[in-house]
Structure 1
């Protein structure tokens, strides 16, 4: 065999799982668009004080309702003379933080309940009936009920959305645990005397992370939209907090004279929700073990 043939015959180095996932993800153009938009939103939120000139809550009644592309206010001003661009940028910070906190708390509760229900058959019926009870309430109405009890604030909005997220996450995790716990390596760990906690944390949980990641990404879109909806209804961010839903609520009275007060935050919500949804779709396809790698 010649040297060239030997090189060709040399087996390729096995690709790691995360490398395969990234390669699949980067083949999905829409997912990349979503990822870019999400990263831009994160950069806006982190560097908000650097990329804005005006205070988002400072009023200047002498410059109220300036149109877009005005000198010093390229997205105009609202009816109180506050810079719309500054409020949009700081609104991204609020939406992302509230969404991340809500999804994290929802994941924490959902993963714990789902793991327990999937692993312990005796707890399955009890936990799933509790999950069914939460599912019996429409999501936004459940959030409104919780806020009515706790009071109107962004902290309570995050808590309400997290409770709303628990049942869906619990069902997803439970289904994954039920399929994983019957695998041969789990049986082997039991026969070796490993504790249930060790099996769940070290051997089952890492193997059910793919659906959890996809759920978290797509749930961010729901959390951001829900935060804006609740703030629009006056149950979330309170004036003068620069939150997108509250901005739409405050600007709707000026729809005919200053439409940018509702259109601009509406576009911000639309782009962010779209970005997280298409990114979640891309991650779902990239993490699917049955997907043809060469496709």
Structure 2
């Protein structure tokens, strides 16, 4: 009897693995058929390359001042995107700003995923913890996201590290709710019940069988949250709560350039376009992944 159950469980697990492998291939095909998502992927790859090779791509020191070359227009000799009011090369600051936005986004989203996934798994799997965890999540939802981040920064202090922490805490409740819903839909399936009948521990069931089946919504959330994290970093830096001068951060560059909007509009427009493109890229890739991971989508 027990041997038959074990064989049945093994066959079910093998079937799940084959289904996952097929799903990965299908997902990539669907994603690549989405032209807008492909454009977004190209933009993200460009940002990643800019972040990695910033020291080689930058034509000038991003924080070095040269007042003799202040407020040069776009396509000036030696300054592709012009200079700011201190004579700093805007192209070099944009390149290094890509590194800051990407690092803060990855750190904040990763921390948010760790907390959100842990809470979501516990709430979805253990009924006794569900009520307590969800009430804490509801309490966090009571605060508008950007205000919650500003409150955390007010407590911790300004700076990019504290911005990453604030955005990660802001990300936890949404992630927890998404993961909890996925766990509730998975934990009563036959192969999970079979594992319990064979005496598998809760930790093994959660980590090896439930969590892998919740990865699709987690991946979509993480991708789209990157856009929110980058935009929030720029917004907080614009308000003076994030990157401090002379750090080449896109939101801080917009804040510094707004006083020169009429005389040197490129100081504001260039970093604004950089933010717009990257946020657009992560959003369309997230939308593409959401559609690609939908089992009801057709891939003709």
Both proteins in one fold, TM over 0.5: yes
Partner SS state of residue 77, structure 1 = coil
CA distance in 1, matches of 2:298, 2:33: 12
Which residue of 1 is the match for residue 52 of structure 2? Answer: 46
CA RMSD of aligned residues (A): 1.1
Matched, 1:180 2:206: no
Alignment gaps of 5+ in structure 1 = 1-12
Which residue of 1 is the match for residue 105 of structure 2? Answer: 99
Partner SS state of residue 248, structure 2 = coil
Which residue of 1 is the match for residue 66 of structure 2? Answer: 60
Aligned length: 282
Which residue of 1 is the match for residue 273 of structure 2? Answer: 267
Match of 1:238 among 244, 251, 257: 244
CA distance in 1, matches of 2:295, 2:208: 20
Note the C-alpha offset of 1:19.
Answer: 1.1
How do 1:144-155 residues align onto structure 2 when only pairs under 5 Å count? 144-155=150-161
CA distance in 2, matches of 1:214, 1:187: 28
CA distance in 1, matches of 2:254, 2:298: 44
Which residue of 1 is the match for residue 78 of structure 2? Answer: 72
Which residue of 2 is the match for residue 6 of structure 1? Answer: none
Match of 1:118 among 110, 117, 124: 124
Matched, 1:28 2:34: yes
CA deviation digits over 1:151-198, x for unaligned, max 9? 001000000000000000000000000000010000000000000000
Partner SS state of residue 80, structure 2 = coil
Partner SS state of residue 64, structure 2 = coil
CA deviation digits over 1:181-220, x for unaligned, max 9? 0100000000000000000000000000000000000000
Which residue of 2 is the match for residue 3 of structure 1? Answer: none
Deviant stretches of 4+, over 3 Å:
none
Partner SS state of residue 16, structure 1 = helix
Note the C-alpha offset of 1:17.
Answer: 2.1
CA deviation digits over 1:5-45, x for unaligned, max 9? xxxxxxxx997221111101111000000001000110011
CA distance in 1, matches of 2:126, 2:250: 43
Match of 2:215 among 209, 214, 218: 209
The TM-score, its normalising length taken from structure 1, stands at 0.94
Which residue of 2 is the match for residue 292 of structure 1? Answer: 298
The TM-score, its normalising length taken from structure 2, stands at 0.93
CA distance in 1, matches of 2:193, 2:299: 30
CA distance in 2, matches of 1:113, 1:289: 27
CA distance in 1, matches of 2:177, 2:296: 21
Which residue of 2 is the match for residue 9 of structure 1? Answer: none
